[in-house]
């Protein structure tokens, strides 16, 4: 079981993932966490303080999800990289849907709050480094240039699936085509 602080932040992530940024209030988080009124406010005096802490907690959870896949997978070809990215897309839109929706809500908010933008860049650096390592192993000759092209496409695919769910969601062909086009090695 996590700490009370983590429980509150996990509840805030649930609220964000279910109701978006407008739904994120101290009171709503208290209800989601099953805590007495004022509990969230005692830990995070302002909404901005709550949101800053949520970014850190959500980054921990996403990093854990990424590492769970990364520890059992080491893509050494474009085909393997595409397969793992497809697996992660299914996880992000399925089992971790609420967490992913919270991430997108935070990304939009970061567009108008530079402090969140800086925090997101800092927390995402580890995942970016891991992905660059995967690109290198899959045959990329310029992983620093290829990473944003592939990850931005992946982000768009996931966003589209979250916004307009398709019961037959299978991005494997387009992800494989993209990885082949960008990395330049044959996808089998």
Instruction: Calculate the alpha carbon distances from 129 to 26, 28, 81, 105, 126 in Å.
Output: 34, 35, 15, 23, 5
Structural domain includes residue 132: yes
Is the residue at 188 inside a domain? no
**How many domains would you assign to the chain?**
1
Using the predicted structure, report yes or no on whether residue 185 has a pLDDT greater than 80. Answer: no
Q: What is the pTM of this model?
A: 0.89
Note whether residue 136 is domain-resident: yes
pLDDT (tens digit, 9 = 90+) per residue, 122-170? 888 878 888 899 999 999 999 999 999 999 999 999 999 999 999 999 9
Q: Token digits for 146?
A: 């290829």
Task: Please indicate whether residue 2 or residue 156 has the higher confidence score (pLDDT).
Answer: 156
The mean pLDDT of 27-46, rounded to a whole number, is: 96
What confidence score (pLDDT) does residue 58 get? 87
- Cα separation, 79 vs 142, in Å, equals 17
Percent of the chain whose predicted confidence (pLDDT) is above 90: 72
CATH number for the domain spanning 44: value is 1.10.357.10
Place of tokens 């990329």: 140
The confidence score (pLDDT) of residue 162 equals 97
18 burial (CB, 10 Å; 0-12 / 13-18 / 19+) is: middle
Q: For the residues 9-26, what does the mean pLDDT come to? A: 96
Residue 127 belongs to domain spanning: 4-183
Classify residue 124: in a domain, yes or no: yes
Q: What is the pLDDT of residue 187?
A: 44
Query: What's the length of the chain?
Result: 188
pLDDT of residue 98: 96
**Please, which residues have CB within 8 angstroms of residue 74's CB and are 6 or more apart in sequence?**
134, 137
Token representation of residue 109: 């908010």
Q: Is residue 86 part of a domain?
A: yes
Residue 181 predicted with pLDDT over 60? yes
Structure tokens at 124: 């995402």
**Distances in Å between the alpha carbon of 57 and those of 2, 14, 120, 129, 172?**
12, 12, 11, 19, 30
| Per-residue pLDDT tens over the stretch 45-88 | 999 999 999 998 988 898 888 788 878 888 899 999 999 999 99
2: confidence class by pLDDT, cuts 50, 70, 90: low
Within a domain: 19: yes
């Amino acid at each position: 079981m996590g700490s009370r602080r983590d429980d509150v932040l996990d509840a805030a992530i649930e609220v964000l993932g279910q109701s978006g940024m407008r739904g994120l209030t101290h009171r709503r988080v208290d209800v989601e966490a099953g805590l007495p009124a004022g509990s969230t406010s005692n830990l995070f005096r302002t909404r901005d303080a709550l949101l800053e802490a949520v970014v850190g907690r959500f980054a921990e959870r996403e990093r854990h999800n990424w590492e769970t896949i990364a520890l059992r997978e080491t893509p050494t070809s474009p085909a393997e990289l595409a397969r793992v990215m497809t697996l992660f897309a299914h996880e992000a839109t399925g089992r971790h849907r609420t967490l992913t929706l919270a991430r997108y809500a935070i990304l939009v908010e970061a567009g108008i709050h530079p402090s969140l933008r800086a925090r997101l860049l800092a927390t995402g650096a580890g995942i970016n480094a891991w992905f660059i390592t995967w690109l290198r192993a899959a045959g990329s000759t310029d992983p620093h240039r290829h990473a944003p092209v592939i990850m931005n496409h992946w982000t768009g695919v996931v966003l589209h699936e979250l916004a307009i769910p398709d019961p037959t969601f299978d991005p494997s062909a387009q992800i494989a085509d993209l990885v082949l086009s960008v990395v330049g090695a044959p996808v089998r």
